[in-house]
Amino acid sequence: MDNLLFVYNIVLTIFFAIDFTGFYIIYMKNRKKEFLFLALLYFLLIIDNSIIYISEFSEGFYLLYETSHILYIIIDSIYLGIILTTRLIILEVFNDKFTIREKQICIVLPVILSILSIFAPHEVSDVLIFISFFTALSYMAFRMYKHINNSSNKFNEKISKIYKIFLWTIITLNILGIIESIIYYIKAFSNSYVNLIALEYRFISFDIIKLFICIIGIKSLYSTFEKLFDKKSTDEKLKEFCIKYSLTSRQREIIELIIDGYSNKEISSKLHIAEGTVKIHIYNIFKKTDISSRNQMLKKIMDD
């Protein structure tokens, strides 16, 4: 079992490092914040995996759990960082800004959990942190699912279906993670429970979630690099298309966002102009190019 965990930790960390490096390179190339936040997410997962790895295989490291509060602060900060980074990814990809309630929870909940970690028994504070973490992850997955469901123009049907299955699986695993947290709490006060579901330093459900995140990352990285290499030819075709039909720089910006799958509302927010203005620009583009739909326009850009 130890050998299996050792190999698993090493392999998973390597793939997280590939995801982190790849998304950071893409960010440096196109300066889109979503890729910076994706790189940050995988960096946090590398740290989390490394702490678990050291805890399981270092002879003296486990003593820090008994003698130092700093380790708990680092681990809790990583959990909070994973949640906030995931929310920032949703903000950038779907233009979904933080709600007032979310901002309040982001401030109040960490304060409450910090106070409990000081004054309450550590078993109680630990289980509340784990339950909060899995609940927040479920919320993020569900929010992402709703956006994918309502953004048919951003993902093709096949990709959309795969992501929806992934997200519902992650939600289910988070529910199992909450159950694992409760079992962890019960075991702290009873010797009758055996370590079958919750291991000492890891939750099986979260490890499976990390595997899913790793797979999604590698797949997304591959497709993004493909688009990155094809971007030059697309940019050249778009440039020729705009020159041919005498389109303005603003109209070109709108077409670029349409190519990226943005809706009229998302374009208006991205360019800080009214949605009605976006519709007027799109109408003028259609009129100049003698087309009647977005799909016709995309086909015309690539075929011209």
All residues at 6 or more sequence positions from 144 whose CB lies less than 8 Å from its CB, including other chains: 90, 94, 163, 167
Residue 49 and residue 203: Cα distance in Å, rounded?
A: 12
Query: Residues 31, 213, 105, 164: what is their CA dihedral angle, to the nearest 10 degrees?
Result: 100
Phi/psi at 203 (nearest 5 deg)?
A: -105, 125
- Local structure of residue 203 (DSSP, 8 states): B
Residue 203 pairs with which residues in a beta bridge?
Answer: 198
- The model scores a pTM over 0.95: no
Whole-number Å distance between alpha carbons of 205 and 196? 13
Q: Residue 182: name the closest of 237, 224, 134, 142 by CA.
A: 134
Burial class from Cβ neighbours inside 10 Å (0-12, 13-18, 19+) for residue 147 reads middle
- What are the pLDDT tens digits along the chain (304 aa)? 667 878 888 999 999 999 999 999 999 988 889 999 999 999 999 999 998 888 877 766 666 666 667 777 888 899 999 999 999 999 998 888 999 999 999 999 888 888 887 777 777 888 888 999 999 999 999 999 998 888 766 677 778 888 899 999 999 999 999 998 888 777 665 554 444 444 667 888 999 999 999 999 998 898 888 777 665 567 788 888 888 888 999 999 999 888 888 888 889 988 989 999 999 999 999 999 888 888 888 888 877 6
R_g over Cα of the chain: 23
pLDDT value for 62: 64
| 69-72 contacts, C-beta under 8 A, 24 or more apart | 69/117, 72/117, 72/122
Domain boundaries, the chain: 2-227, 245-303
- Rounded CA-CA distance 134/178 in Å is 6
CA distance 125 to 129: 6
Give the list of residues 6+ apart from residue 137 with CB closer than 8 angstroms, or none.
82, 83, 86, 170, 174, 177, 209
- 3-state class (DSSP) for residue 31: coil
Helices (H), the chain: 2-30, 33-57, 64-67, 70-94, 100-119, 122-150, 157-189, 204-244, 249-259, 264-271, 275-289, 294-303
Q: How much is the pLDDT for 12? A: 93
Q: Count Cβ atoms below 10 Å from residue 189 Cβ, excluding itself.
A: 9
| Fold (topology level) of 245-303 | Arc Repressor Mutant, subunit A (1.10.10)
pLDDT given for residue 162 in this prediction: 87
